[in-house]
Amino acid sequence: MARRKAAEGPQAVPPSEPAAEPNAVQKVCALLRALAGPGPRRLTDLAAETGLNKVTALRILDTLAQEGFVARVPGERGWRPGSELLALAASAGRPDDLRALARPSLVRLAELSGDTVLLSVRSGVEAVCVEREIGPYPIRANYLDIGSRRPLGVGAGALALLAWLPDREVEAILGIVAQRLDAYPRLGLPEIREAIAAARARGYVILLDRVVDTMGAIGVPVRDETGRTVAALSIAALTARLHERETLLAEALAREANLMERERVPARRQDPA
The tens place of each residue's pLDDT in the chain, 273 residues long, gives 445 444 444 555 455 555 567 788 989 988 888 887 667 888 998 998 889 999 999 999 999 989 888 888 876 778 988 877 766 665 555 444 788 899 999 999 999 999 999 999 988 898 989 899 999 998 887 777 888 889 999 999 999 999 999 999 999 999 999 999 999 999 999 999 999 999 999 999 999 999 988 999 999 999 988 888 999 999 999 999 999 999 999 999 999 999 999 887 554 444 444
| pLDDT for the residue 136 | 94
Counts for the chain of helices (H) and strands (E), in that order? 10, 8
Output the pTM of the full model: 0.69
3-class DSSP assignment, residue 204: coil
> Environment class of residue 29 by beta-carbon count within 10 Å: exposed (0-12), middle (13-18) or buried (19+)?
middle
Strand partners, 133: 117
Angle between helices 43-50 and 54-66 (to 10 degrees): 110
Strand partners, 140: none
Give the distance, in angstroms, between the CA of residue 65 and the centroid of all CA atoms in the same chain: 27
| DSSP letter (8 states) at residue 173 | H
How far is Cα 192 from Cα 111, in angstroms, rounded to an integer?
30
